[in-house]
């Protein structure tokens, strides 16, 4: 079987655009969605569509065998939620905390280990975190639950890069502030530009980039 691109969380937004751009490039694309409409749309676009809820242990437990026999040379983990908008120190409810942390942190922690046996040599793996997760660049506390989840996701990526050193190139990626359901219409980057940049950045990675936190245009970001 030819090597493939895996896009996790491709029903909407940046993930869907990435899947479409890789398909337009002629790549074989495996893409995930949570519901029938999302799966059908991905299939219609030409992808192999897999049902996956990254926050559900039951759903994730079926992933490795569904990918058995694949050789993934590119993986983009795009699934994510923002959670409650906050401007100060509003304590999230336990349910809000669980939803955001289960999606943005437990998600990669339980999905990415399932991929270890199906990565092609020197595969490129990008986890979409966010500049909002950076401690070094932080100048606002807005959305502190989301920020905490993305800081934790950056930690997850760093550990993945240590375990996979020599086998794969793993980076945390900030896609920009992008016009999607999450980013809103006022965001400064259109989704096609963000996805194009992310594809170019992943394609241009060298071994020295393993474990880095990169802007969509490839520039390093402070953790």
Ligand X SMILES: NC(=O)c1ccc[n+]([C@@H]2O[C@H](COP(=O)([O-])OP(=O)(O)OC[C@H]3O[C@@H](n4cnc5c(N)ncnc54)[C@H](OP(=O)(O)O)[C@@H]3O)[C@@H](O)[C@H]2O)c1
Residue ranges that bind ligand X, judged by CB under 6 A: 9, 11-15, 34-35, 38, 52-55, 78-81, 103, 128, 130, 174-175, 177-178, 180-183, 187
Query: Please, which residue, 3 or 35, has the CB nearer to ligand X?
Result: 35
Q: Output the smallest distance, CB 184 to ligand X, in A.
A: 8
Query: Please, which residue, 33 or 119, has the CB nearer to ligand X?
Result: 33
Query: Please, which residue, 167 or 196, has the CB nearer to ligand X?
Result: 196
Query: Please, which residue, 11 or 21, has the CB nearer to ligand X?
Result: 11
Inter-residue long-range contacts of 160-165, CB under 8 Å, 24+ positions, other chains counted: 160/108, 160/112, 160/125, 160/127, 161/210, 161/211, 162/211, 164/116, 164/119, 164/125, 164/210, 165/210, 165/211
What is d(CA 125, CA 191) in angstroms, rounded to the nearest whole number? Answer: 20
Give 61's contacts (C-beta < 8 A, 6+ positions apart).
none
Q: In terms of Cα–Cα distance, which of 134, 201, 211 is closest to 168?
A: 211
Query: Please, which residue, 11 or 210, has the CB nearer to ligand X?
Result: 11
On whether the CB atoms of residues 83 and 145 are closer than 8 A, the answer is: yes
Query: Please, which residue, 44 or 208, has the CB nearer to ligand X?
Result: 44
User: How buried is 113 (Cβ within 10 angstroms: 0-12 exposed, 13-18 middle, 19+ buried)?
Assistant: middle
Q: Output the smallest distance, CB 102 to ligand X, in A.
A: 7
Q: Output the smallest distance, CB 110 to ligand X, in A.
A: 11
Q: Output the smallest distance, CB 37 to ligand X, in A.
A: 9
Q: Output the smallest distance, CB 9 to ligand X, in A.
A: 4
Question: What single DSSP character describes residue 91?
Answer: P
Phi and psi (nearest 5°) for 181?
Answer: -55, -40
Q: Output the smallest distance, CB 120 to ligand X, in A.
A: 23
């Amino acid at each position: 079987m030819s090597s493939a691109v895996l896009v996790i969380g491709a029903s909407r937004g940046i993930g869907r655009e990435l899947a479409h751009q890789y398909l337009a490039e002629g790549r074989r694309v495996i893409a995930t969605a949570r519901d029938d409409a999302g799966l059908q749309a991905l299939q219609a676009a030409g992808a192999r569509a897999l049902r996956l809820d990254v926050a559900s242990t039951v759903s994730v437990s079926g992933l490795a065998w569904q990918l058995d026999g694949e050789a993934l040379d590119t993986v983009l983990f795009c699934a994510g939620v923002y959670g409650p908008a906050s401007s100060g120190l509003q304590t999230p409810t336990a349910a809000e905390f669980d939803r955001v942390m289960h999606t943005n942190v437990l998600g990669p922690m339980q999905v990415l280990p399932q991929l270890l046996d199906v990565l092609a040599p020197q595969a490129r793996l990008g986890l979409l975190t966010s500049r909002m997760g950076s401690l070094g660049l932080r100048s606002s506390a807005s959305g502190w639950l989301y920020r905490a989840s993305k800081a934790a996701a950056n930690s997850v990526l760093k550990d993945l890069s240590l375990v996979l050193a020599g086998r794969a190139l793993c980076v945390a990626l900030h896609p920009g502030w992008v016009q999607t359901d999450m980013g809103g219409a006022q965001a400064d980057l259109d989704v096609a530009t963000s996805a194009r940049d992310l594809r170019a950045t992943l394609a241009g990675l060298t071994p020295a980039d393993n474990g880095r936190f990169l802007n969509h245009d490839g520039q390093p970001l402070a953790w």
